Structure 1
Amino acid sequence: MAEARDLARSFLTEVQSVHGLPVSGRAMAMVQLVVSELVTNARKYAPGPCLLTLEIEGGAVRASVWDSSTTLPAVLPADPGRVGQHGLEIVMAVCQSFSVHREPVGKRITADVVLADDPDGDVAGHQLL
């Protein structure tokens, strides 16, 4: 999971430095959280490998995780008394969009996080003037 978070951070740093796209500090943290949750679920519930894809689409980063399991994730109703199993609730709460698609083998879960969503203009730790 740490490797997936590091990959997301490196990807977004490159998006900002090489391509000049704004990435808010909040977006940086949320993408790492989303990637961590999705990869954790794939590793925990699916046999075999998983594949993480990150891409920029319409001012958002799209995190997509494929795994070999055909079982679709169960999004449980909110329950503050439940211990654990809140990962998909969290992902759905912080993302612009969330989808699950069956693939010829396995499934793909995709979540989009807006890149520049900080009202104070914070772009990955840099104050805009």
Structure 2
Amino acid sequence: MGLAGQDDGQAPLVDDAISVSAAFEGSEQIAAARDLARTFLADVQAVHGLPVSKRAMGMVQLVVSELVTNARKYAPGPCLVWDSSTTLPLIPAPDPVRVGQHGLEIVMAVCRSFEVHREPVGKRIKTAVVPGGDAAGRQVM
């Protein structure tokens, strides 16, 4: 999981070289993925001295949880920084009576960017949440 944010043409707040990854199999690993995200961001702040707001911390954990949940639900096999399904994710039309299938809606609402890249073995999704900002990527003072 890489972390990057840009603000109106400025350089990224965190270099892509600062990253963490893990392989997850099984639904019990969704909590482990959230914990990995939280620990990673705490280290980004403590070790690298980069600000990570509580809001950004929560948003990143939410995004990781939703993406790992979707990978577990829709793609067989392990998920790493990719999953094994070549089917691109679709966001259903808004439906207030629909139960479930709101994960990507949540991800799109709280992330500054969302990218899907096809891989030889499936697809890779990359998102960005600004470490010190709100969901739209604006810096919070």
Q: When the two structures are superposed, what TM-score results if normalisation uses the length of structure 1? A: 0.79
Q: 2-side partners of 1:36 and 1:45: how far apart?
A: 14
Q: Which runs of 5+ in 2 are unaligned?
A: 1-29
Worse overlay, 67-76 or 33-42:
67-76
2:93 corresponds to: 77
Aligned length: 108
Q: What's the CA shift for 1:83?
A: 1.0
The one of 70, 76, 82 equivalent to 1:66 is 82
* 1:21 paired residue among 26, 36, 50: 50
Q: Which amino acid aligns with 2:41?
A: L
2:111 to 71, 79, 95: 95
SS at match of 1:98: strand
Which segments of 5 or more consecutive residues in structure 1 lack a partner in the other structure?
A: 52-64, 122-129
Mapped partners of 1:97, 1:26: distance in 2: 17
Distance between the aligned counterparts of 1:24 and 1:75, measured in 2?
A: 28
Q: CA deviation at 1:74?
A: 1.7
Aligned CA RMSD, in angstroms, stands at 1.3
Q: Which residue of 2 aligns with 1:35?
A: 64
Amino acid at match of 1:82: R
Query: What amino acid sits opposite 1:69 in the alignment?
Result: S
Q: Secondary structure at the match of 1:32?
A: helix
AA paired with 2:61? Q
Match of 1:55 in 2: none
User: Quick check: which one's strand share is greater?
Assistant: 1
**Equivalent of 2:122, from 85, 93, 106?**
106
Runs of 4+ in 1 over 6 A off after TM superposition: none
